[in-house]
Chains A and B, each alone.
Chain A
C-alpha cells in the first residue's frame, strides 16, 4: 500500500521529534489514565454500591413494641401496603477487648436464619446459623472486637451478666456501616441466644412497603396502618423509626466520593488536553516555513489544517492505547479498595461499554477541540509571511513586563537569565503553572480540610471539658455512686445531666439534654442567640443538626416535640455548633424532668473529668470506672473516652481524603509531565541560545543548572498560585464534608504545614521534571546548537 507523501509527513514529523511526541503522548495518556481510572471506578461503584444495598432488602420502617410475638409479625405481613415484615430485636451492650477494656456492641436477634426477609446479610466465613452460645460478627467487626473466628469473647448487656460467647463465623451485612468506622461491634445471634435476655428492645419489628419505597409520606401512612393493626391485635407500640428511604447509612459520604471521582477525572483530561494544545502550538511555530512551502505548492488552508489535526489524532490514538488499559486496571483496583472501605461486595467488575466509548470519544475529541484553534490559525498564514517575511514572531523587549524585567539588575545574571527566560513565553508558562497549581491546590486543600477537621475536633474537645462519658443502663440515683466515682484516683470531677428524647412532627428524633447552665465542662460555641440561664424554663438551645432537619428552627421560634406521647413546646433561645450529626436540644433540667416524668437526683449519663486529660488518663479512668460500676452492680451501656470519639470521626473521613489525595496525585502527574514538556520545548526553542552560551564559556553544568532553575521557578510560581487557589477549594471541601458529617459547614482553616509540604513536593517535582531537559540541554553539541533553526 502506498502512503501519500502528505500522510508520510504526518508520521515523519512525529518521528523527527521523538522526545516531543513522547511527551505529548504521555501528557495525553496521563489525562486519559485519570479519566479512565475515575470513570471505571465510578461506573463500578455507582452500580455495585446501589445494588449491594438494594440486595439487602432494606426495611422502610421499624416499629418498636413492648413485646413481640410471631402473631404480631404475621399481622404486619398481612397489613395493606406491606411487602415484608420481620422481627429483628436489638441487644445493645459491650464487648471486652482487653483487660478492663470494652467496646460498644449491637447484636441483632434473628428469628430464622433460613428466612431472612429484610436488612439481609450473607454468610462470610465459619458456621451458619449460630448456636445459642454463639455469635456471627459482621466481617468488619473482627478487628474492632480483636477476635477471630472460633475465639470466645466476653459480652455484657445492661440487664445481664458477663457472658462468654463463641464467634462462630462472620457475615457480610452491606446495610451496616463498617465497624472500624463507627467503632461499634455488630453481630447477629439466634432467637434462642443466651444474649437475647439482656436486650431491652425486645419488640423491634421491621417492615418494607410494597410500593413507592422512596416516598416517606407513603411509608409513614403504611406504618401507621400497621401500628393500628398491631394495637387492634393487642400490641403496644412504643415508637416508630423511619430511616431515610433507600439510603445506606453512608450514602452521603459515598455520593460525595463518587462525585469527586467523576469531577477530577474530567479535570485531569481537560488539563492534559490543554498541555497538548500548547505542544502543538510550539510544533507549529517550528513548522511555519514548511507550511509556507506547502501553500506555495498549492495546499489549501483546509488541507494543512487536516494534516496537523491528523498528527493530533495519531498522538491521541497512541495516548488512548497507553491510558485506557492502565486506567481501567487502576480503576478496578481502586473500586475494590473503596468497596472494602465501605463494606460493600463487588459482584462484578464489569465496566459498561458506554464508559469505554466515552473515554475513547473524550480522548480523541478533547485534544482535537483544543488543538483546532492554534492549528487553524497557523494554517492561515500567508506564503509571503511564512517564507521569510515577517512571521509575526515576538521579540523580547516589546512588552511592558519585558522592560520591567530588564530593569531588574541586582540579581545574579545567570539567575536573571533563568527568570526572564521563564517569563518570556507567558502563554506556555501560564498553562504549565495552572496545571501544576491545580494539582497542588487540591493537595493543599485536602490537607487544609484535614487541618480544619483537626481544629474543629480540638474546638469540640475544648467545648467539652470532660474526658470520658459514661452511659448507664438505666437512670440511677446519683447518691449511689457519687462518692465512689470522685474517690477514683484518675477522676477529678463529674457532672450528670437530665436526659430524654423527643420527636419532631416529621418523626425525627431529638435528644434532650439538661445541663447545669453554670456547668464548667460544657461550653459549646454559639452560632446564634444565647446559652441557657439559671432558673428559666420552657426554652431550648438547639444544635446545628436540629437546624439541618428543619431550617425554620431558629432563635425565637418554637421547638415542638412529642415526649412520651405528650406535646412539649420550647422556645429556641440559641443555636450551638456541635461536632455531631445527632440532633440535640439543650433545655433546663426541670423542663426535661417534667416532660419525661423522671425524678430529680437520678443519672443516666455521666461526664467525667480526668486528672491527666490525655488519652492514657482517659483510658485509665475508663477502666477504673468500669471496675467501679461492676463492683457496685450498676449496669453500664458504654464508657467512651473522648479520644475514641475523635478517632471515630477521623476514620469516617478516610475515604474522602483518599479520593482527594488520589485526585490530586492524578492532576499532579499531568502537571509534572506538563512541566517536563514545557522545559523540553523551552530548551528546543533556545537551542541556538544554549549553543551561544557554550561558545562563550558556559559549562554543561552551568547550562544544566539554568534549565533546572527555570523548572524551579515555574514550580515556585505554581506553588504560590496553588496556595491561593487552595483557599476557595478548601472552603468548598470544608462546606461539603462538614454538611455530610456534622450537618453544618466546617470553619475554614489553612494549614501552614500543607503549604510547606507542597513546597517541598513541588521542588522535588520541578527538579525531577527538569532533569531530562537539563541533561539534554547540557549535552547539545555546540556546533549543532549554533546551526539550529
Chain B
C-alpha cells in the first residue's frame, strides 16, 4: 500500500538546513493500523505529510497504492488525495462557515465521484456511523471537541478512501473521548482501511498493530 524509499526532507531555515527526515525506508501494507511515535521534532508529522501527498521529499521516492507521488502535478495530487486519503487533524479543522453535514459532504463535492443527489444522504450516514447524526445541521462552533473530531473522521471517510492519516487526533481531547476516537479507528481498520496515526497516546499505540518510532528523522 505505502512504500517510502530513502526519503529525506530538509527544511531551509534562518539558522541553516534542518533535516526532518533522513533516508526513511518504510512499507505499510493494505489494512495495516500503524502508530507513528517519537519526540517532538522527530519528523512524525513530516512523514505523514509525505504519505498524504501534502509535502514532497527532498530526495527519495514515495509510492502509495502504486502511484508515484513525485510525478504528480498539484492538481493531480489534490484529486488523488480526495480519492485515496482521509485526513484527521489535531485541531479538527472543520470549516467554521459550513454546517456539520456540509463539512462532511464537501470532499464529495471536490471529487465529484458520487452523484450530487446522494451526497447529503451519505454525509448523514457517516455522521450516524461516528455517533453525531443529531448534530448534522449545527455549525462546528457549537460542538464539543470530541464531537468535532468525530465529524472530522466522518469527513475523512467521505469519499471512502482506502487510507486514513491522523495527526495527533486526540491531542486536544480528554482521555475518555480519546479512547472513543481510537475505538473508531480500530473499527475502521477491521473493515480494511489502512490507518496511520501520529500520536503520543499510549492507547493508540496499544490499539495499533504496528508501531514505527522516529528519532531525529530516522526510524529507530
Partners in one complex: yes
Query: Which B residue sits closest to A696, measured CB to CB?
Result: B107
Residues of B within 8 A of A395 (CB): 96, 141
Which chain B residues numbered 157 to 194 have a C-beta less than 8 Å away from chain A?
A: 158-159
Do A396 and B97 have beta carbons less than 8 Å apart? yes
Residues of B within 8 A of A310 (CB): none
Do A695 and B139 have beta carbons less than 8 Å apart? no
Do A397 and B142 have beta carbons less than 8 Å apart? yes
Which chain A residues numbered 384 to 439 have a C-beta less than 8 Å away from chain B?
A: 395-398, 402-403, 405-406, 409, 412-414, 416-417, 420-421, 424
Residues of A within 8 A of B140 (CB): 397
A377 within 8 A of B: no
Residues of A within 8 A of B124 (CB): none
Which chain A residues numbered 695 to 716 have a C-beta less than 8 Å away from chain B?
A: 695-702
Query: Which B residue sits closest to A414, measured CB to CB?
Result: B109
B112 CB to nearest chain A CB (Å): 10
Which chain A residues numbered 44 to 62 have a C-beta less than 8 Å away from chain B?
A: none
Q: How far is the CA of A406 from the CA of B96 in the complex (A)?
A: 10
Do A397 and B96 have beta carbons less than 8 Å apart? yes
Residues of B within 8 A of A701 (CB): 75
B212 within 8 A of A: no
Query: Which B residue sits closest to A402, measured CB to CB?
Result: B139
Do B139 and A697 have beta carbons less than 8 Å apart? no
Looking at the complex, which of A289-297, A686-694, A766-774 is the stretch in contact with chain B? A686-694
B99 within 8 A of A: yes
Beyond A402-B139, A696-B110, whether A416 also contacts B82 by CB under 8 A is no
Q: Mark A708-748, 1 if CB is under 8 A from B, else 0.
A: 00000000000000000000000000000000000000000
Q: How far is the CA of A268 from the CA of B95 in the complex (A)?
A: 37
Count of B residues near A, CB < 8 Å? 36
Beyond A701-B75, A783-B55, A786-B89, whether A696 also contacts B98 by CB under 8 A is no
Query: Which B residue sits closest to A783, measured CB to CB?
Result: B55
A782 within 8 A of B: yes
Residues of A within 8 A of B109 (CB): 412-414
Do B78 and A698 have beta carbons less than 8 Å apart? yes
Do A417 and B79 have beta carbons less than 8 Å apart? no
Q: How far is the CA of A700 from the CA of B72 in the complex (A)?
A: 13
B33 within 8 A of A: no
Do A692 and B93 have beta carbons less than 8 Å apart? yes
Partner of A413, one of B89, B102, B156, B159: B102
A693 CB to nearest chain B CB (Å): 7
Do B98 and A416 have beta carbons less than 8 Å apart? yes
Do A697 and B110 have beta carbons less than 8 Å apart? yes
B44 CB to nearest chain A CB (Å): 14
Q: How far is the CA of A252 from the CA of B95 in the complex (A)?
A: 58
Partner of B102, one of A398, A409, A702, A783: A409
Beyond A395-B141, A420-B98, whether A413 also contacts B52 by CB under 8 A is no
Partner of A409, one of B49, B96, B99, B156: B99
Beyond A406-B99, A406-B139, whether A700 also contacts B75 by CB under 8 A is yes
Do A697 and B54 have beta carbons less than 8 Å apart? no
Q: How far is the CA of A689 from the CA of B155 in the complex (A)?
A: 14
Residues of A within 8 A of B141 (CB): 395-398
Which chain B residues numbered 122 to 148 have a C-beta less than 8 Å away from chain A?
A: 137, 139-142
Do A695 and B102 have beta carbons less than 8 Å apart? no
Which chain B residues numbered 107 to 126 have a C-beta less than 8 Å away from chain A?
A: 107, 109-111
Q: How far is the CA of A259 from the CA of B99 in the complex (A)?
A: 52
Query: Which A residue sits closest to B9, measured CB to CB?
Result: A783
Q: In the complex, which of the residues A397, A688, A700, A701 has the most CB atoms of chain B within 10 Å of its own CB atom?
A: A397
Q: How far is the CA of A5 from the CA of B109 in the complex (A)?
A: 49
B22 within 8 A of A: no
B206 CB to nearest chain A CB (Å): 28
Do B111 and A697 have beta carbons less than 8 Å apart? yes
Do B95 and A693 have beta carbons less than 8 Å apart? yes
Residues of B within 8 A of A692 (CB): 87, 89, 93, 95
Given contacts A406-B97, A700-B74, 16 further A-B contacts (CB under 8 A): A395-B96, A397-B96, A414-B109, A417-B95, A417-B98, A692-B89, A694-B54, A695-B52, A695-B87, A697-B82, A697-B159, A699-B74, A700-B75, A701-B75, A782-B49, A782-B54
Binding site for A on B (CB under 8 A): 49, 52, 54-55, 74-75, 78-79, 81-83, 86-87, 89, 93, 95-99, 102, 105-107, 109-111, 137, 139-142, 155-156, 158-159
27 pairs, CB–CB < 8 Å, chain A vs chain B:
A396-B141, A397-B96, A397-B140, A397-B142, A398-B141, A405-B97, A413-B105, A417-B95, A421-B97, A692-B95, A693-B95, A693-B106, A694-B81, A695-B52, A695-B87, A697-B79, A697-B81, A697-B107, A699-B74, A699-B78, A700-B78, A702-B110, A782-B49, A782-B54, A786-B54, A786-B89, A786-B93
